[in-house]
Amino acid sequence: MKQIGPCNSLNLIDKNDSFYPQAHIQFGKLANFYFLVNCVLSIFPSINTSNPIYTIFPFIFVTSLSAGKDAIEDWKKKKEDDTINSTLTKVMRNGSLLDVQWKEVELGDVVTVNE
């Protein structure tokens, strides 16, 4: 990965991949998929001898914990990105050196790198 700016990496963030639980992310996790299969099987009385709530509650609980953990990670990532994007850097535009925030750097700008 190319090193750019104070964060030492180029962060590419997919705007579609946010906190809101997406099925392919949540159920790609083994524990969540296990509880989902159990919930589906609990619908059939011939397979499940107990009350379906005993299967559905752990599913909702584990999925909620997982979604909550993802929300906290996304919030921390956004906070860190906002901090880095608001720091200043020097950019060469139209023959002059300007101080701009990282979020204002555009494709084709020449950026000075300081250690």
Task: Domain ranges for the chain, please list them.
Answer: 23-85
What is the pLDDT, as a whole number, of residue 5?
A: 47
- CB-side exposure of 100: number of CA atoms within 13 Å? 15
pTM of the model: 0.57
The proportion of the chain whose per-residue pLDDT surpasses 70, expressed as a percent, equals: 77
3-state secondary structure of 16: coil
Q: Give residue-wise pLDDT tens across range 34-89.
A: 878 888 888 888 887 778 788 788 888 878 888 888 889 989 999 999 999 999 99
- By C-alpha distance, which of 28, 1, 8, 2 is closest to 115? 8
d(CA 93, CA 5): 17
User: Residue 17 pLDDT > 70, yes or no?
Assistant: no
d(CA 106, CA 110): 9
What is the pLDDT, as a whole number, of residue 22?
A: 61
